A and B are shown apart, each in its own frame.
Chain A
């Protein structure tokens, strides 16, 4: 069965620090990969996605993620975080075969000004 694991449940950083959130998945076939962000009190919004091609994908607000197929990973990065990045971040995996997205448990990011 597909599963998604986010290793960091709660991350606290100071502004301007670099961010890397881990995401690993288990699925043997072709996958689509996503990172969603949920700001406090709001709904989930797409941050970035990978379907095929260049494994380094860039998203909104300076976020990027790298797909490493051999490691079944899709880690999210940002060189310098801002207070406004405080949010919950979800990694998700989908495939055309199953039709569904499987979400990780989420990582809460708190950025201190």
Chain B
């Protein structure tokens, strides 16, 4: 069955370190998204991609970057981790823009 996976599931890092969160989908979807989930804020869009070599900033993109070198993967990089980036991160993908998104299991990131 097609699926979307994220790794690691849990990560503890220190302020200032670079961190990369992996997202891999086997749906063959062109569209991929990264969200962060925080209490009181719901889900906020960080970056998204509509296809290989395409990346776009979401509403909370500062301090994050993504790259899309193939259809299956959209890694999220925190260039210099900050305590404010402690959160749960979800990756999602969709076949069509504006349509149903399928979510990964999430990565819980703690920045000390």
A positions within 8 Å CB-CB of B: 32, 34, 36, 42-46, 49, 51, 90, 94-101, 103-106
B104 touches A43 (CB 8 A): yes
With the chains together, A45 CA to B90 CA distance in Å? 12
B59-112 interface with A by 8 A CB criterion: 90, 92, 96-106
Which one of A43, A90, A96, A100 lies within 8 Å of B45 (CB-CB)?
A100
With the chains together, A90 CA to B90 CA distance in Å? 14
B42 touches A32 (CB 8 A): no
Can you report 17 residue pairs joining A to B where beta carbons are below 8 Å apart? A32-B98, A43-B90, A43-B103, A43-B104, A44-B103, A46-B100, A46-B102, A51-B99, A94-B99, A96-B99, A97-B98, A99-B50, A99-B98, A100-B48, A100-B58, A104-B42, A106-B43
Known: A36-B103, A103-B42. 7 other contacts (CB 8 A): A44-B43, A94-B99, A96-B96, A98-B97, A100-B58, A101-B101, A105-B41
B positions within 8 Å CB-CB of A: 31, 33, 35, 40-43, 45, 48, 50, 58, 90, 92, 96-106
With the chains together, A101 CA to B103 CA distance in Å? 12
